[in-house]
């Protein structure tokens, strides 16, 4: 059965890129959210196997959303997405419970490497 993924990113283009990579590799994208608050709500509703979470978003940033998702399910699998030069944020995210991170612009092989490592 295909693993279910929720994509959280304020940029529609980035969501589309990740969705394309995942779909081609046999994953099912069950939902998309454009900010952290919406991401947390969709997580509760959809119970995905994996979440890809942008760090910098309006309303609620990715690290706050990650902490809320971890509070709902301590075993949640969340991979953070960040632009270059956000190392401090990436460290915060890993400490908050993120399983891995992907740097933008996305490279399909790196995205799949991170996802495969996290969901097995």
Q: Where are the domains of the chain?
A: 4-119
Q: Is the model's pTM score more than 0.85?
A: yes
Closest CA to 11 of 70, 91, 82, 109: 82
Per-residue DSSP letter, 51:
E
Assigned fold of 4-119 = Rossmann fold (3.40.50)
Under a CB-based contact definition with an 8 Å cutoff, are residues 68 and 40 in contact? yes
pLDDT tens sequence across 81-96: 988 666 788 889 999 9
pLDDT tens sequence across 7-53: 999 999 999 999 999 999 999 999 999 999 999 999 999 999 999 99
């Amino acid at each position: 059965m295909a693993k279910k993924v929720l994509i959280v990113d304020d940029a529609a283009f980035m969501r589309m890129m990740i969705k394309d990579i995942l779909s081609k590799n046999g994953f099912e994208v069950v939902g998309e959210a454009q900010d952290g608050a919406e991401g947390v709500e969709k997580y509760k509703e959809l119970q995905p196997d994996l979440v890809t979470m942008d760090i910098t978003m309006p309303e609620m940033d990715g690290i706050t959303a990650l902490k809320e998702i971890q509070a709902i399910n301590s075993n949640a699998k969340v991979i953070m997405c960040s632009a270059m030069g956000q190392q401090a944020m990436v460290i915060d995210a890993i400490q908050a419970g993120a399983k891995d991170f992907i740097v933008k612009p996305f490279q399909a092989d790196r995205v799949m490497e991170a996802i495969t490592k996290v969901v097995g």
